[in-house]
Amino acid sequence: MRVARQYAPARRLMVAVVAAAMLVAAFGLAPSPAQAQADEDYEVLVVGKTLGFRHGSIDNATHAIIDLGEDNGFTVDVWDPPNDSGGWWGPGSPGQPELTLDSTPFTSAEDLAKYATIVFVSPVDNTNNMDPEKPRLLDDDELAAFQGYMRDGGGFVGIHAATDTMHTVPWYSEMTGGGARFAGHPQQQTATMRVEDPTHPSTEMLPLAWERWDEWYNFTANPRADVHTLITLDESTYDPGRSAMGDDHPLSWCQNFEGGRSWYEGAGHTDESFETDTLFLEHLLGGIEWAAGVAGDAGDCRTFGEVDDMLSSVDSDHRRVEVLLPKIQDRLDAAHAAELEGDHETAAELLEGAQGMANAVDRDLSDSLADLWEWQEAAADATS
């Protein structure tokens, strides 16, 4: 099934494009790989390679993303070689030999820069026992290339078991989302996904209460403190099993990470997600386009930690700024605490005050606080 969507030029995207053009014209500054491809066809890498249990939906997801690319302006390379990494799950991985590249694309950050984003489709590698001797999805050299790619402004999209690979690499778990790794799941069943941020390019088409049949992941940690939560899972609508996360169960999130963009969706186990679920494919397309830098901007996934780091770096040489910074910090901390408790309305009110004060301190800080404020206002409306 193919999904095509044309975006109206949003205010943020237009501002980003104009700003990038001005920087290039005035200073000769080159845009990031994702920005450079915003106005032309771009390339996406799909990684389905497995060294552990292989999800049957990997092939369907790969073909669905290829179809999405044909209708939405991007081409797809695939890295999913056959291998003999057998175990309790069976005799190795068949991969996708008719599609896969001949050799690893993770050779250097410069080589990976041809891709506007890299999509990990459930590439399980059997490292969840935390044994550092177990072979990883990416070896040291490949991991270094991937890290360099992200730090140079690359994009990452993780689907379903993208959190069940490279468990022994803390950086990877932070990049996928706040250190949260796959912990377990109950039997497949119907549950309700609740959209918390309906303004993101990957969620703007979704109903606030989205009922679906899937395999629902529980995670080793709640990532909320470190990410921009897009969708939560309502555990009252299904049986979450022994590793239930409780009242707050983020399922889809995003973040700006070390110069790049990271987007994750915990659903997507079933074949139907990629064969017949048009809404899921639109959601996935929005995630790919955001991570690739062709939809929305960094403000769509602003996090509290990101703004806290920005606040800490503001020059406080002037007396007025020195007085205002602690007050802004107090409101930011209180807003984050309210957000962690699910009180988005209070968080929005506190951020409004912080943003007003930041107008007299630093324009970038003010704009970033406005991003948080906008997010929390949207979350308050969506969850009320």
d(CA 40, CA 361): 37
Q: What is the mean pLDDT of the chain?
A: 91
Per-residue pLDDT at 4? 53
- The predicted model gives 36-41 an average pLDDT of 58
* One-character DSSP codes across 72-137: HTEEEEEE---B---BTTBS-B---TTTB-SS-STT-HHHHTTEEEEEEES---S-TT--TTSPPS
d(CA 121, CA 366): 37
Q: Indicate whether 172 pLDDT > 70.
A: yes
Q: Which of 231, 204, 227, 228 is nearest to 286 (CA)?
A: 204
Q: How many CB atoms lie within 10 A of CB 179?
A: 18
Per-residue pLDDT at 26? 38
Q: Which of 222, 374, 377 is nearest to 300 (CA)?
A: 374
Q: Indicate whether 224 pLDDT > 90.
A: yes
Q: Which of 102, 92, 219 is nearest to 158 (CA)?
A: 219
Per-residue pLDDT at 8? 35
- Structure token pair of residue 312: 């800490």
- The predicted model gives 320-326 an average pLDDT of 87
Q: Indicate whether 312 pLDDT > 80.
A: yes
User: Could you confirm whether domain 11-298 is CATH 3.40.50.880?
Assistant: yes
- H or E element in which residue 211 lies: strand 209-214
Q: Indicate whether 326 pLDDT > 70.
A: yes
- The predicted model gives 61-78 an average pLDDT of 98
- The predicted model gives 206-216 an average pLDDT of 98
Domain ranges in the chain with CATH number 3.40.50.880: 11-298
- Structure token pair of residue 328: 């802004």
| Confidence band, pLDDT 50/70/90 cuts, at residue 29 | very low
Strands 42-47 and 74-79: parallel
Please list, in sequence order, all residues whose beta carbon lies within 8 angstroms of the beta carbon of residue 223, skipping any fewer than 6 positions away.
Answer: 177, 178, 179, 180, 229, 250, 253
pLDDT digits (tens, 9 = 90+) for 126-161: 999 999 999 999 999 999 999 999 999 999 999 999
**3-class DSSP state of 307:** helix
